[in-house]
Amino acid sequence: TQLLEQSPQFLSIQEGENLTVYCNSSSVFSSLQWYRQEPGEGPVLLVTVVTGGEVKKLKRLTFQFGDARKDSSLHITAAQPGDTGLYLCAGGQWDMRFGAGTRLTVKP
């Protein structure tokens, strides 16, 4: 049983479109992180959210942590081809568990 469920699994959109991807769990997390991974590389940390209801913005990316700290969303505004990659959420305490990721393709 996967601890963190990410949806959608795959997403292909045109440059300039907006999108939202989700990370859901039945467990409560003290913190949740989002990473982006490009082919052949390790994941790179985008953001950590800690407080229920917290919203963090990173340029065109908006991250939200659910009030109950069981879910999170990532919204990208005006997607660009450079946003293409595998988006992973991770939660836990000392040893983080990862979701299977959303593979995003942004076409020019």
Query: Distance between CA 83 and CA 104 in Å, rounded?
Result: 8
- Residue 40, interface with another protein (CB under 8 A)? yes
Q: Are 58 and 84 in contact (CB under 8 A)?
A: no
Q: Which of 25, 101, 102, 106 binds another protein (CB under 8 A)?
A: 101
Nearest approach, Cβ of residue 83 and another protein (Å): 18
Q: Helix or strand or coil: residue 100?
A: coil
Which residues of the shown chain bind another protein in the complex (CB under 8 A)? 2, 30-31, 33, 35, 40-45, 48, 50, 86, 88, 90, 92-101, 103
